[in-house]
Amino acid sequence: MRKSVYIAALFGLAYLLVQTPELFEQAPDSAPQASSTEQVSEAYAQQQSKVQVRGQGVVIKLLPDDTKGSRHQKFILRLSDGHTLLVAHNIDLAPRINDLRVKDYVGFMGEYEWNPQGGVLHWTHHDPAGRHPGGWLSHNGKTYQ
């Protein structure tokens, strides 16, 4: 009887992890902020750039790395309100997310730059010079900064 309870608990935890991975995402501590949907949607509507945003989204498309100049891993996230966001993650300054797949959840902190297609998220890494707020990406419980 005890063994079946443990097995049922393990399956329950596994189900939660697969269905709601955002509950298990770990990211660096920082002050509470508005949701990603509110921040990004507001910055997009007002055509703002250089806005520090934090949130999460689901990967809907993986793009080839940009290898001109500083190398960037690129992919598109869909936020909870349907807004899409291009992520340009500098892999010269932060580790690449090698196991990233479509439908994965990714947490983020970085700088939003407006464009007509929905905007770009960059500065998802530390600033070696210490002049810019550090950003990060989180995926499957690991933080990339």
Domain ranges of the chain: 2-144
pTM: 0.74
- pLDDT at residue 130, as a whole number: 85
Does residue 96 contact residue 67 with C-beta atoms inside 8 Å? no
With CA atoms as reference, report the closest residue to 72 among 55, 95, 102: 95
Find all residues with CB under 8 Å of 81, minimum gap 6, and list them: 37, 41
- pLDDT number for residue 142: 97
> Could you report the per-residue pLDDT of 43-86, keeping only the tens digit for each?
998 999 999 999 999 999 999 999 999 999 999 999 998 999 99
Summarize pLDDT for 6-51 with one digit per residue, the tens: 444 444 444 434 444 443 444 443 333 445 568 888 999 899 999 9
The pLDDT value recorded for residue 36 is 56
Mean pLDDT of 120-136: 91
How far is 3 from 72, CA to CA, in rounded Å? 48
Mapped onto helix, strand or coil, the DSSP state of residue 87 is strand
What are the structure tokens assigned to 71, written together? 């190398």
pLDDT at res. 39: 87
Sole residue written with tokens 């730059």:
113
Distance between CA atoms of residues 136 and 87, nearest Å: 11
Domain 2-144 CATH (choose: 2.40.50.200, 3.30.465.10, 3.90.1150.10, 3.90.1170.10): 2.40.50.200
Give kind and range of the element (H or E) at residue 72. Answer: strand 72-78
- Position 38 scores a pLDDT of 82
Q: What's the pLDDT band for 128 if we cut at 50, 70, 90? A: confident
Radius of gyration of the chain (CA): 17
